[in-house]
Structures are given as C-alpha cells and as structure tokens.
Amino acid sequence: MNYPTPALRPLPVSSLATEQSRQRLAAAIIAITTGIAYATEPYQQQLLDRYTRGRLTLDEVVYSLEAAALFRANARP
C-alpha cells in the first residue's frame, strides 16, 4: 500500500537559539546515548558539528540523516 508522503519543509527556527544552547543540546544527546553500543560515522559527526556551530538546523540534520539512511538502504543489492 502506498501512502502519500508530505514534502519536507524546514520548521521555523527561533533566532534566540545560540551556539551555547546548541552545544548543550548536542551534549545532552550524547550523554543520553552513553553506554549504547553505537559508533558515530564521520558524516554523522560532521552534521552534529555543523549543527553545533549553527550552520544547520535540527530539521536539516534529521533530513540529512534520513536521506543518507534511505540512500544506503537502496544501495544494497
């Protein structure tokens, strides 16, 4: 069964978000996942770094990760 997929549009981002708040969010995410056997790929680390510096929104990070996962899934024989 095919379900329609909505177009991905970035959500509005508050201009109040600072690099410090993005760093706190990234640190919290890392702290929550501590102890989970998961290796961060270089591409994922690049996205996190770009988010922390304010060059990507969280929506853009999620979109990029989903697109990469879809590409890898389709690339498998």
Predicted pLDDT at 2: 58
How far is it, in rounded angstroms, from Cα 62 to Cα 48? 10
Question: What pLDDT sits at residue 14?
Answer: 53
Query: What is the residue extent of each domain of the chain?
Result: 41-77
Distance (Å, rounded) from C-alpha 3 to C-alpha 54?
34
What was the pLDDT predicted at 29? 75
How far, in Å, CA of 18 to CA of 24, rounded? 10
* Mean pLDDT per 10-residue interval, the chain, length 77 residues: 59 59 77 72 86 84 88 80
DSSP 33: T
Task: Please provide residue 35's backbone torsions phi and psi, each rounded to the nearest 5 degrees.
Answer: 95, -10
pTM of this structure:
0.57
* Distances, alpha carbon 7 to alpha carbons 10, 15, 19, in Å: 10, 24, 28
